[in-house]
């Protein structure tokens, strides 16, 4: 018997994963005192059992501490292994010292988690300047990709699609998704002048006027990247695009702003959000089984 402990109440994903992995949903108490400190209590006999902790790491700072305390608790109770399922892995974007004196938080976060959990599995971490998680994680760290579930969504829901990556960094998803969905793709270029100030170049889309554009990216945060790309596409005479992202990071008000512009926004369920329409349960379960 193995146990899965669901830290963030991702109930559907947790239930599906338990079914696929033949694991039991672990009972525990994890709460915060009024001063914010965590109280952790495991209510299962985990001695000699493999344990999984399901915890997306959006807004990661307190969640990381919850993972560490739960992991230590499970290990002290004799768990055979403690394995982190983090459908969204945080702290991957600061992967270089962009300016003198900056910390490279991706490395520090990886070093921290690697000291506690035995393994990590995630979906489409932001591997831009790193080629693999093993460059910063010293534990077994598996990066799955949502390419197939996204391609399946496009095949089922979008008529005559052309996949569009809103910037160079998104090319890895756009190209693979297009290949899997058996449709063409284009990639735009992007310049960022500040957190909320992004300029996207005009694309060469003359060949695709009768297609439905599907913008694909790993993350939507402020939504500026997607909204500007969408604006250029509609100005170029294409239909309003469908915006698909793996991770629904969404800064405050971003999803509403996108929807107010008439955009259809679809995300995978790595981070719970009302735009979730693509389940990652099967992908993650298969990844865990083949580990």
Residues of this chain that interact with ligand R5P (CB under 6 A) are: 93, 167, 169-170, 198, 217-225
* Residue 43 or 260 having the CB closest to ligand R5P: 260
Residue 117 or residue 163: which is nearer to ligand R5P going by CB? 163
CB of 256 to ligand R5P, least distance (A): 14
Smallest distance from ligand R5P to CB 19, Å:
32
In terms of CB distance, is 223 or 241 closer to ligand R5P?
A: 223
Count CB neighbours of 188 within 10 A.
24
Using alpha carbons, select from 144, 185, 159 the residue that is nearest to residue 239: 159
For ligand R5P, which is the closer residue by CB, 203 or 223? 223
Min. distance of Cβ 277 from ligand R5P in angstroms? 18
Shortest distance in whole angstroms from residue 181 CB to ligand R5P: 19
| 65 in Cβ contact with 38 (< 8 Å) | yes
Q: Using the minimum distance from each CB to ligand R5P, give the nearer residue, 119 or 267.
A: 267
State the nearest-atom distance from the C-beta of 80 to ligand R5P, in Å: 37
* Least gap, CB of 86 to ligand R5P (angstroms): 17
- Residue 190 or 211: which CB sits closer to ligand R5P? 190
């Amino acid at each position: 018997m193995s146990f899965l402990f669901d830290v963030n109440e991702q109930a559907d994903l947790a239930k599906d994963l338990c079914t696929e992995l033949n694991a039991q949903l672990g009972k525990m108490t994890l709460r915060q005192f009024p001063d914010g400190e965590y109280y952790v209590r495991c209510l299962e006999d985990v001695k000699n059992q493999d344990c999984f902790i399901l915890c997306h790491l959006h807004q990661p700072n307190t969640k990381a501490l919850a993972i560490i305390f739960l992991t230590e608790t499970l290990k002290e109770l004799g768990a055979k292994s403690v394995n982190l399922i983090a459908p969204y892995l945080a702290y991957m974007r600061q992967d270089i010292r962009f300016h003198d004196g900056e910390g490279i938080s991706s490395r520090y976060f990886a070093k921290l988690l690697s000291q506690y959990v035995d393994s990590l599995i995630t979906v489409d971490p932001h591997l831009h300047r790193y080629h693999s998680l093993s460059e910063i994680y010293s534990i077994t760290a598996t990066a799955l990709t949502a390419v197939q579930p996204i391609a399946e969504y496009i095949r089922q829901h979008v008529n005559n699609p052309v996949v569009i990556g809103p910037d160079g960094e998104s090319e890895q998803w756009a190209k693979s998704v297009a290949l899997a969905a058996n449709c063409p793709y284009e990639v735009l270029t992007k310049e960022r002048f500040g957190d909320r100030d992004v300029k996207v170049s005009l694309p060469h889309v003359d060949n695709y006027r009768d297609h439905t554009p599907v913008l694909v990216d790993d993350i939507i945060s402020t939504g500026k990247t997607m909204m500007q790309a969408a604006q250029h596409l509609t100005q170029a005479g294409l239909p309003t695009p469908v915006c698909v992202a793996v991770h629904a990071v969404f800064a405050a008000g971003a999803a509403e702003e996108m929807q107010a512009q008439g955009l259809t926004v679809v995300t995978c369920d790595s981070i719970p959000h009302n735009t979730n329409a693509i389940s990652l349960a099967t992908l993650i379960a298969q990844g865990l089984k083949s580990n």
